[in-house]
Structure 1
Amino acid sequence: MFLGTHTPKLDDKGRVILPAKFRQELEGGLVLTRGQERCIYVFSMREFERVHEQIRQAPLTSAGARDFLRLFLSGASSEQADSQHRVTIPANLREYAGLGRELTVIGAGSRAEIWDTAAWNEYYAAKEADFASTTEEVIPGIF
């Protein structure tokens, strides 16, 4: 499970060292793809296969499902960390997420997310107060 907030740096070759706590989960390979709110989703290969199978269940007659599938998969890149635990983020994904040198990598349970630090700070500032004052059930069965 991916948890926590980490602040690695993007090197000049577009590589990032993913947090040590995430390495065991990702040792079988990983998939990077576009995420919502202009971040990059990081899935273990196993979790990406599970998510892909769920997506495949969507009806082909659904324009929204087709659109999502196209954007989600066309941006996906299968990667393997090198011996120094660095992962290359493809240029198209770095551009999509507006990544600079300063990154924030967050754990989001079944995936990690890579954010440009300024974008993460802006998102966090906008959402934290809403989170702290949540008074209704947002996710069924939780709280």
Structure 2
Amino acid sequence: MSVDVNNFFGTYTPRLDDKARLFLPAKFRPRLESGIVLTRGQENCIYGWTPESFSAFTDRIRETPFTNRDARNFVRMLYSGASNEVPDKQGRISVPPVLRQWASLDRDVTVVGAMDRIEIWDAGRWNQFSSDQEQVFADMSDEVMPGIF
């Protein structure tokens, strides 16, 4: 079995330092060494995209009619909090205040791989979300994601 090196996976528990910097998980660093785009994510987490993945994502958004109010509002929220960060030599990135506030980040965080992006969560919020979703995931059927199972 080969592993798709273009996907992020796994769960990690780094901490924010006193300057609100996050040590990226070592396994993610090679793919993110040239930069990471941080944005607001659903469920009040932070999405972290490679520049290429973010570009592909926003290309799909551009196909949405400009006249669609929900699409305009989504773009506003996505881009108004977005930040392009480059990890330092130790693999740390700064997490801007607007995103820390969005995700309620303090010190303990959880970083999860989510296919073409990473997600940065407040550790307590992630633990609650994960706990709430475990049985839903275990019971998931073809009705939820047709053609997958």
Q: In which range does the TM-score fall when normalised by the shorter chain?
A: over 0.9
CA shift at 1:19, angstroms? Answer: 0.6
Q: Distance in 2 between matches of 1:104 and 1:76?
A: 19
Deviation of residue 140 (structure 1)?
A: 3.0
SS of the residue aligned with 2:54? helix
Give unmatched runs, 5+ long, in structure 2: 1-6
The answer as to 2:49 corresponding to 1:43 is yes
**Residues 34 and 87 in structure 2, CA contact (< 8 A), matched pair in contact too:** no
For 1:61, what is the secondary structure of its paired residue?
Answer: coil
Per the TM alignment, residue 52 of structure 1 is displaced from its structure 2 partner at its CA by: 1.1
TM-score by length of 2: 0.93
Match of 2:96 in 1: 90
Percent of residue pairs bearing the same amino acid type: 50
Question: CA–CA distance in 2 between the matches of 1:135 and 1:109?
Answer: 20
1:109 corresponds to 2:115: yes
Alpha-carbon displacement from aligned partner over 1:13-39 (angstroms, at most 9, x marks no partner): 000111111111112211000000000
Match for residue 20 of structure 1? Answer: 26
Which of 56, 71, 76 is matched with 2:77 structurally? 71
Count of residue pairs the alignment pairs up: 143
Question: What is the DSSP-based 3-state SS (H/G/I as helix, E as strand, rest coil) of the residue aligned with 2:34?
Answer: coil
Distance 1:22 1:86 in 2: 11
Q: 1: CA distance between counterparts of 2:50 and 2:141?
A: 33
Q: Calculate the TM-score normalised by the size of structure 1.
A: 0.97
Query: SS in structure 1 opposite 2:115?
Result: coil
CA contact (8 A) 2:142 2:148 kept: no
SS at 2:66 equivalent: coil
Q: Any stretches of 5+ residues in structure 1 without a counterpart?
A: none
